Amino acid sequence: MAPPSTNEEKVTFILLFSRNRSSCDVPYLMAQRDEHIYPTLMTATFYFMRDLIDYRAISLDNCVYIIGGRYASTGRLSNAVFKYDAHIDFWRGCEPMKSVRANFAVTIFDSKIYVLGGEGQKGIIVQSVEVYDPTTNKWKEAGTFMKPKRYHAALAMHGKLWSSGGANSLIEAKSTGELILVDPQPNEWKRSITNHTLPVACQQHCMTVINDNILVFGGCQKNGDEAHNIQTIARAISQSSESTTEWEELDIQLEHPRTDCGYFQLGSSLYIIGGHNCQTGDPTKVIERIDFSNSSKPTIDEQFEIDKDFAAVDCCVVQTNQYNEHLLPLASYLDRWIVW
C-alpha cells in the first residue's frame, strides 16, 4: 500500500463506543464535506475491547482514549488507558489511572483529560478527580468533590470544571440537580468550589458547549422506584462562574428518550445518537440533529435509524486519510455513496 501524500484531504469519522455491551467491534460513521453524515454504519475491530464495559471514550488532538471501566466476564474494575492515534492508525497503552473507576464523567481542560468520580473498589462511589497529561503520559490527583458522584456529566468553560447531575449513592436511586464549579489549577481547588443548580435533577445525561452556550439534554430523573425520561433541552443564559447560573428551556425538545445517549458536533450541527428509554429499557435507534446555525432559534430533525444497540454510547470524532487500515472499508468507497 502506498504511503499517503501530505496534502491528501482528510476524512472525518465518528467512532461509536457502546459502553453497555462488551464487544471488540466498534461501529463508526463518516461525515460528508457539508457536515452531514452518511446513512451507513460500518465496523472496525479492536480486540482489546472485547470484555470491557462501563468505560469512557473521549477524543483529544485527533486521538481516542479508552479509559477505565470494568471487565464483563469478572466484574473487576479497570484503571487501564488505551490511546488510538488516528493519524498513524495505531493503538498503544498509556499510564493507568491512579484508581480504578467505572461510570465516571470525563472532559477536556487545558489540553488535559479529567476524570471525575464514578464507581470504585468495593462498590463505593468515589469523590476523587484525576488528570492526565498526554504530553508526559502521566496521571496525577487533581482534587476531590464534597460528595461522591456517578452517572454525572462534565465540561470545561470559563477556566472552570463544571460537573452536573448524577447520583450520590449506589443504594438510594435518586438523581441530583447539583451543578458544581471548580478551578482545577494547583492550590485553587478547595477555595474555588461553588454550588449551583440545574433546572431539573438528572443523571445519565449530556452537557456540552455549542456557540459558547452550555446545553443540558437527555438522561433521566430517578427517585426510588420512579424513573422519568427527560426530553427537554436546557440552555444556560447566565453562565458566569461568579454568579448563579440561570437556565432557559428551548422551544424544541428531543423526539425520543435519550438516557445515556452520546453526541458529537459537526459545524453548527449537534448530532444526538443512541441512549435508551429509562422506563422500558428499549434502546433508541433514531439519530437526531439540532441545527444551531440560527442560535436564537435552533431546529431539530430526525436523520435516520441505525440497527444497533447504543443504549449507552460515547462518540469520538477523528480525521484520517484513506490509507487507515482500521477505517479503510468506508473511506475506500468515499466517492461511491448515494446520499439522501
Give me Rg for the CA atoms of the chain: 19
Geometric angle at alpha carbon 335, from 333 and 340, rounded to 5°: 100
Is the separation of the CB atoms in 259 and 310 below 8 Å? no
| Residue 84 Cα distances to 57, 64, 180, 316, angstroms | 11, 5, 31, 11
Q: Which residue has the higher pLDDT, 281 or 9?
A: 281
Judged by DSSP in three states, 49 sits in helix
Which whole number is the average pLDDT over 17-32?
A: 93
pTM: 0.92
Check pLDDT > 60 for residue 207: yes
Looking at the chain, the whole-number percentage of residues with pLDDT higher than 70 is: 89
Q: How far apart are CA 65 and CA 81, in angstroms?
A: 7
What is the per-residue pLDDT for 116? 97
Is the separation of the CB atoms in 311 and 274 below 8 Å? yes
Give the confidence band of 195 by pLDDT, cuts at 50, 70, 90.
confident
| Residue 270 Cα distances to 87, 164, 169, angstroms | 24, 20, 32
What is the per-residue pLDDT for 153? 98
244-253 contacts at long range (C-beta below 8 A, 24 or more positions apart): 244/196, 245/179, 245/196, 245/197, 247/198, 247/199, 247/216, 249/199, 250/298, 251/297, 252/290, 252/298, 252/299, 252/300, 253/300
Give the confidence band of 334 by pLDDT, cuts at 50, 70, 90.
very low
Averaged pLDDT of the chain: 89
Which amino acid is present at 326? H
Nearest to 298 by CA among 234, 208, 240: 234
Q: How far apart are CA 10 and CA 52, in angstroms?
A: 30
Total residue length of the chain: 340
Which residues on adjacent β-strands are paired with residue 210?
213
DSSP state string for 212-244: TEEEEE--EEEETTEEEE--EEEEEEE--TTS-
Which whole number is the average pLDDT over 147-158?
A: 94
What is the per-residue pLDDT for 256? 97
DSSP 167: B
Residue 43: which residues within 8 A CB-CB, separation 6 or more?
Answer: 25, 26, 27, 28
Residue with cell 464535506: 33
The set of cell numbers assigned to 118 is 464514578
Give the confidence band of 338 by pLDDT, cuts at 50, 70, 90.
very low
Is the separation of the CB atoms in 163 and 179 below 8 Å? yes
Give the confidence band of 240 by pLDDT, cuts at 50, 70, 90.
low
For residue range 54-77, list pLDDT tens digits in order.
Answer: 999 999 999 999 999 999 999 999
Q: Which residue has the higher pLDDT, 130 or 320?
A: 130
Give the confidence band of 323 by pLDDT, cuts at 50, 70, 90.
low
Which whole number is the average pLDDT over 87-112?
A: 95
Beta strands in 231-336 (DSSP E): 232-238, 246-253, 262-266, 269-273, 286-291, 299-305, 313-320
Give the confidence band of 1 by pLDDT, cuts at 50, 70, 90.
very low
For residue range 256-266, list pLDDT tens digits in order.
Answer: 999 999 999 99
Nearest to 65 by CA among 88, 87, 43, 94: 94
> Which domains can be identified in the chain, with CATH numbers?
11-331 (2.120.10.80)
Which whole number is the average pLDDT over 294-300?
A: 93
Which whole number is the average pLDDT over 294-320?
A: 94
